[in-house]
Amino acid sequence: MNNTNHNKNNISKQNDCTSEKEKVNLFCQSLLFLTFSLVLIISFIFVFSINNSPALSSNAQEYYYAKIQNENAFFYSNPIDSNENMLFKLPNTYFVKLLDEENTNFYYCQYSDQYGYIKKSDVIVMDGTPINPYATSSFRIFSLEGIGLYSSPYFNEENKLAEIPYLTDDLTFYGYKIGEQSIPEKSDVWYYCRLNTNSLYGYVYSVFCDQLTEIPVNNEYFSIIDSPIFGNADSPKGLSSVAMTFIIIGVSLPCVIVIYLLVKPTLLKDKVLNNKPKLKKRHGDYYEFDESDLN
């Protein structure tokens, strides 16, 4: 009698443990299902918002050309209006290539092989591609002792990038900047340039330079664009619907696999229990007959 009660208690405990495991398993499955649903909802919202973004309108362009319409337009290293961020004064009537809208005051742009920023108030955005967007000019070093190339328009040995020999003319001119007046009553203008022999960029003092190529007026003109819309192909705004579909599949597939791995043990367990042979109850010297065995 005691053995029978003991067996019943063990069976009851086993059933309780099985029930707890099933509850935990069911909870995990529910949690994964909710996570999967949430991922899908967020993905669809993401795709919908991008497809309806203004940047994807038919008027969006990867870049625009803008004509410089200011005698004091500067090319900036950072989108902050300060003297230290001014690299050089741009030649009026030429163009910059606008790559993006940086903030309310500046565009991110390209001038020749230089990348930086320009104030919106200094340019007019145009609908066209100029033949000669950038000015081309060069000059020569006319100092017997040569002259230094500096990272800023001041004679400072710490900012010296290179020494340019006498009569060097392999220099590309970009624009001017006011700096140190090294020689009294002489110019305080410095040239921002590229030393082509080693591709160094910096400033040289204009007093020791000559043969600067004259920059003619650029008369190219196109219709004006009042509100340019940029569509950057490298950003999510430029992704196609096919790419978006692959993103959703890539995000959702791991969730489906995890849910399957959690559900599979339960399915196998149910299958095993259903196929498990039923034990006949013994009553003394006979067995109880189960009518379900006839089916």
Note whether 71 and 130 are same-domain residues.
yes
Assess if residue 2 is contained within a domain.
no
Note whether 112 and 175 are same-domain residues.
no
Note whether 77 and 118 are same-domain residues.
yes
Strand, coil or helix: 157: helix
Note whether 77 and 222 are same-domain residues.
yes
What is the chain's Cα-based Rg? 38
Amino acid identity, position 185: E
269 confidence band (pLDDT: 50, 70, 90): low
Calculate the alpha carbon distances from 113 to 97, 174, 194, 259 in Å: 11, 10, 10, 53
Instruction: Tell me the pLDDT of the chain averaged across its residues.
Output: 80
**Residue 138 has what DSSP assignment?**
B
Quote the strand ranges of 181-253, DSSP E.
189-195, 200-205, 209-210
Q: How far apart are CA 270 and CA 253, in angstroms?
A: 26
pTM of the model: 0.62
If one counts the domains in the chain, the total is 3
Which of 59-63, 124-128, 231-235, 257-261 bottoms out in mean pLDDT, i.e. has the lowest?
231-235
Assess if residue 18 is contained within a domain.
no
Phi and psi at residue 254, in whole multiples of 5°? -60, -35
Note whether 74 and 91 are same-domain residues.
yes
Residue 33 is predicted with a pLDDT of 65
Q: How far apart are CA 107 and CA 151, in angstroms?
A: 24
Phi and psi at residue 203, in whole multiples of 5°? -115, 145
Note whether 130 and 146 are same-domain residues.
no
Contact 147, 204 (CB under 8 A): yes
Note whether 46 and 80 are same-domain residues.
no
Quote the strand ranges of the chain, DSSP E.
64-68, 74-76, 86-89, 95-101, 106-111, 114-119, 123-126, 140-141, 147-150, 160-164, 171-178, 189-195, 200-205, 209-210, 282-283, 286-287
β-bridge mates for residue 163, sequence order: 148
182 confidence band (pLDDT: 50, 70, 90): confident
Please report where in the chains the tokens 């259903």 appear, as a residue.
274
Q: Compute the half-sphere exposure of residue 189: CA atoms within 13 Å on the CB side of its CA.
A: 11
Calculate the alpha carbon distances from 289 to 273, 281, 285, 286 in Å: 20, 8, 13, 9
Note whether 167 and 191 are same-domain residues.
yes
DSSP characters over 38-70: HHHHHHHHHHHHHHT-GGGSTT-BS-EEEEE--
Between residues 74 and 285, the one the model is more confident about? 74
Mean pLDDT of all residues in 237-261 = 60
Assess if residue 186 is contained within a domain.
yes
Contact 195, 164 (CB under 8 A): yes
Give the range of the structural domain holding residue 98, as residue numbers without chain letter. 64-135+218-230
pLDDT digit string, tens, across residues 134-157? 999 999 999 999 999 999 999 999
Note whether 72 and 129 are same-domain residues.
yes
Strand, coil or helix: 149: strand
Q: Which tokens is 259 given?
A: 């849910």
CATH classification of the domain holding 84: 2.30.30.40
185 confidence band (pLDDT: 50, 70, 90): confident
Assess if residue 5 is contained within a domain.
no
Residue 117 class from Cβ within 10 Å (0-12 exposed, 13-18 middle, 19+ buried)? buried
